[in-house]
Copies of this chain bind each other. A is one copy, B any other.
Amino acid sequence: MPVRLATTESDFAARFAAFLATKRETAEDVEQVVRAIIADVAARGDAALIDYSRRFDRIDLETLGIRVPQAEIDAALGAVDAETLTALELARDRIAAYHQRQLPKDDRWRDALGVELGYRWTPVEAAGLYVPGGTAAYPSSVLMNAVPAKVAGVPRLVVTVPAPGGVLNPLVLAAAKLAGVDEVHRVGGAQAIAALAYGTETIRPVAKIVGPGNAFVAAAKRLVFGRVGIDMIAGPSEVLILADRHGNPDWIAADLLAQAEHDPSAQSILITDDASLIDAVAAAVERQLKTLSRAEAAGASWRDYGALILVRDFEEAIPLADRIAAEHLEIATEDAEALAARITNAGAIFLGHHTPEAVGDYVAGSNHVLPTARSARFSSGLGVLDFMKRTSLLRCDAEALRALGPAAIALGRAEGLDAHARSVAIRLNPDHA
């Protein structure tokens, strides 16, 4: 059964701290294996990809080819039923519209001393998107990762996706096509990450790798970080719902279960000031679980990691919410806006009774790749900036350097960096050569 806490209990602080510290994942130690795979792909290229795919995915890429032909991608799109296709197109267009507004502006100015300053944003030259195989191969995740890259202007966007037994999810191919992905390669695991980082004959290297994956993929991303950029390492999903006595127990239960069905390690938390809502929601969850296709995962998540927390008032809830730093925060209270304004740690906030988190997962337009495991304290959801980098710009003319130079010389000397000082002094007074 989910844990029940109340701030009125004398040991609440300790129980809440213990709840926060609960580990929901056991990190498999796969680093040595992954390190060897990466070195092998870096050394042998396509031949290594063919070997690993034969072993891990039971697929002969020597015959089938590593790159998925355009005709196969087109056929997958053609086979999508009309309702799903319309929904995917709506999602694609709304994600694009939302992320367009994130495009950063360049800046350039001349200050009072005549120094020209500024910065400029440019897209990375190529990005790789890892798409997991199996049950976690979601077309919505393809859109959420690929569309912001294309909005950023990334000229080359590469998808790698394992095809165990030769099978690719046609919805993943369709989403890749809709998002404007340039290449799809049927390779997965640490070997796919290695190929994206080091390049092979078929897969040219990229500058940035994004997308979720299993323990091998996560370890590979950590190991290639530095050679290429990576996004966050995604953990199991979580939702925190703040609701008062106006909350609808059935709706809240449905939202808690929508999170829980992802994974037995997912986490769903309700904080309320209404003791009777806690009982009503707990009962609704049990009722809804009975008719849920993924009842096993959802039930395990709710039983092992679910929480029902009673507070005296929402003033008490604010610091708790900031400590939980939830990936998804739903606020269904009387003055949801005012409460939202005072909580700073959350990946995304869903306001009011009619905003189930699932609309954000699919079609609202905001990104569903969000910081998990309390990392909303210091990181943000995926966005356009993840596919861009900023270059600062600086220009002095002789006069500006005369104004600024003496201070640079003073600091260079104070730090014992005489060549720094000289590089300025030599321009102000040729005798300094």
Name A residues whose Cβ lies closer than 8 Å to a Cβ of B.
Answer: 83-84, 86-88, 90-91, 97-98, 101-102, 107, 109, 111, 115-117, 119, 122-125, 135, 138-140, 171, 207-208, 226, 228-229, 233, 250-251, 254-255, 257-258, 260-262, 284, 287-288, 292-294, 298, 322, 336, 340, 344-367, 370-371, 373, 375-381, 383, 385, 389-398, 400-401, 404-408, 410-412, 414-424, 426-427, 430, 433
Contacts and interface: CB of A to CB of B under 8 A. Distances in A.
Contact of A226 (B255, B358, B375, B408): B375
A395 B288 contact: no
A88 B413 CA distance: 12
B366 A407 contact: no
B416 A135 contact: yes
A347 B397 contact: no
A397 B135 contact: no
Nearest to A341: B120
Given A140-B415, A233-B226, A416-B294, A350 B207 contact: no
A307 B102 CA distance: 39
A350 B135 CA distance: 50
A389 B379 contact: yes
Contacts of A427: 251, 353-354, 356
A412 B348 CA distance: 19
B229 A423 contact: no
Nearest to A360: B394
A254 B380 contact: no
A380 B373 contact: no
Given A396-B354, A420-B258, A414 B87 contact: yes
A414 B86 CA distance: 12
Given A257-B419, A352-B397, A421-B358, A125 B377 contact: yes
Contact of A420 (B87, B122, B358, B393): B358
B419 A294 contact: yes
B344 A122 contact: yes
A351 B395 CA distance: 5
Contacts of A90: 407
Query: Residue among A348, A359, A385 with the most chain B CB within 10 A?
Result: A359
Contacts of A377: 124-125, 207, 228-229, 389
Per CB-CB distance, the 8 closest pairs between chain A and chain B, nearest first, are A229-B378, A351-B395, A87-B407, A380-B390, A254-B423, A87-B410, A122-B344, A366-B392
A283 B361 CA distance: 62
